[in-house]
């Protein structure tokens, strides 16, 4: 009862469930099917899913969520309706996959690899800019040496359109901890689109994000052909 009342109070400041929400799944149902304990954390305005080896923290209206001690990005933010959070089928499937990955049997099988990731500590620094003459951006940054980095592009095209996940791109830092990637922005071609760039890595590595406004590929360049009278 307290969980439902707390979520209901929080929902007063959130938008209604968006169009297409009939295809979403109730988080409590996803949790029950995957063996998570479902708990509302009022001090953080979040729902906490937990089971041996994993804790997932999701917040209404937030695309970024926590898995143990690192951040991940959902394809769309959870929405509140009818006393629960509702998530996309993609996020529901990912939560179920996480439950399987962190099951006791899987944990024993991956113990060696997990211990290696757990020893990696540090943070990501990153900068992104539009690539001149191309519908792409270039992303450069640093993280712990030989660490995997996932670069997620999120497009904000309108206050009336939900944030779009443009792409996810995996890179690995070099021996000096540097990484660089050229990433196409399809399908965020609309001029003036706000593009958010989020970089995440393994547990123990703090994520980073930045954003830029997409302009014409050759913005600021004077082209004689365009100056001719028509």
How far apart are the C-alpha atoms of 124 and 142, rounded to whole Å?
6
Any idea where the domains of the chain sit in the sequence?
Answer: 2-109, 121-213
146 dihedral zone (left: phi>0; alpha: psi -120 to 50; beta):
left
Reported confidence tier of residue 29, pLDDT bands at 50, 70, 90: very high
- In this predicted structure, what is the pLDDT of residue 105? 57
Q: Which stretches of 93-217 are assigned E, i.e. beta strand?
A: 122-123, 125-130, 136-142, 148-156, 164-172, 178-184, 194-200, 205-206, 208-213
Between 183 and 219, the more confident residue is 183
Reported confidence tier of residue 134, pLDDT bands at 50, 70, 90: confident
DSSP conformational letter for 175: T
- Percent of the chain topping pLDDT 90: 26
Fold (CATH) for 2-109 = Copper Amine Oxidase; Chain A, domain 1 (3.30.457)
Q: State yes or no: pLDDT of 42 exceeds 70.
A: yes
The yes or no reply on domain 121-213 and CATH 2.60.40.10 is yes
- Percent of the chain topping pLDDT 70: 82
């Amino acid at each position: 009862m307290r969980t439902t009342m707390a979520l209901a109070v929080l929902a007063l400041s959130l938008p209604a469930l968006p169009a297409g929400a009939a295809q979403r799944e109730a988080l409590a149902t996803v949790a029950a099917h995957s063996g998570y304990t479902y708990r509302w954390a009022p001090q953080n305005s979040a729902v906490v899913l937990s089971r041996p080896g994993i804790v997932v923290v999701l917040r209404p209206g937030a695309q970024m969520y926590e898995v143990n001690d690192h951040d991940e990005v959902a394809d769309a933010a959870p929405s509140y309706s009818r006393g629960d959070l509702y998530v996309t089928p993609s996020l529901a499937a990912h939560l179920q996959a996480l439950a399987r990955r962190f099951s006791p049997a899987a944990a024993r099988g991956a113990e060696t690899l997990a211990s290696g990731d757990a020893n990696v500590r540090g943070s990501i620094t990153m900068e992104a800019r539009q690539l001149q003459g191309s519908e792409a951006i270039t992303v450069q940054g640093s993280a712990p040496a030989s660490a995997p980095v996932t670069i997620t592009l999120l497009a904000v095209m309108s206050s009336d359109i939900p944030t779009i996940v443009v792409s996810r791109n995996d890179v690995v830092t070099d021996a000096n901890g540097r990484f660089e990637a050229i990433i196409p922005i399809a399908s965020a071609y609309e001029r003036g689109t706000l593009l958010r760039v989020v970089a995440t890595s393994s547990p123990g590595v703090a994520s980073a994000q930045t954003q830029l406004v997409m302009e014409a590929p050759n913005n600021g360049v004077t082209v004689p052909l365009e100056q001719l009278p028509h």
